[in-house]
């Protein structure tokens, strides 16, 4: 079984790897792919909901949001527009100019 060796010929480097190194790389890339698929799956519902426009509310919300998507609400009372964000159990409002 050959070990990793570096050969220098005309300023080029050749790396020789063992079969075990190749198997290790395949396993690592397989795990990375599964983890990235899982990470994306967490956000599919949120990203799907964001495809549609949110209808603005007429007053500051009084409900407790069930997910991150509901934590951001738009307010339009006819004269002023604002964005409400649910943080630490309270709704905070920011006026939009």
Q: pLDDT per residue over 15-36, tens digit each?
A: 666 777 777 777 776 654 455 5
CA distance 47 to 49: 5
Listed by start position, the domains of the chain span 5-41, 53-95
Distance CA 76, CA 94 (A): 12
Residue-wise pLDDT tens digits, 39-56: 777 778 778 887 888 899
Computed over every residue of the chain, the mean pLDDT equals: 78
pTM exceeds 0.85 for this model: no
């Amino acid at each position: 079984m050959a070990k990793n060796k570096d050969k220098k010929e005309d300023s080029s480097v050749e790396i020789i790897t063992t079969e075990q190194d190749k198997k290790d790389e395949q396993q690592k890339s397989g795990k990375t792919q599964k983890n990235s698929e899982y990470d994306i799956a967490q956000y599919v519902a949120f990203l799907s909901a964001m495809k549609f426009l949110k209808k603005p509310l007429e007053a500051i919300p009084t409900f407790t949001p069930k997910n991150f998507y509901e934590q951001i609400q738009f307010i339009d009372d006819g004269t002023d527009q604002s964005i409400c964000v649910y943080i630490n159990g309270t709704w905070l409002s920011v006026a939009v100019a």
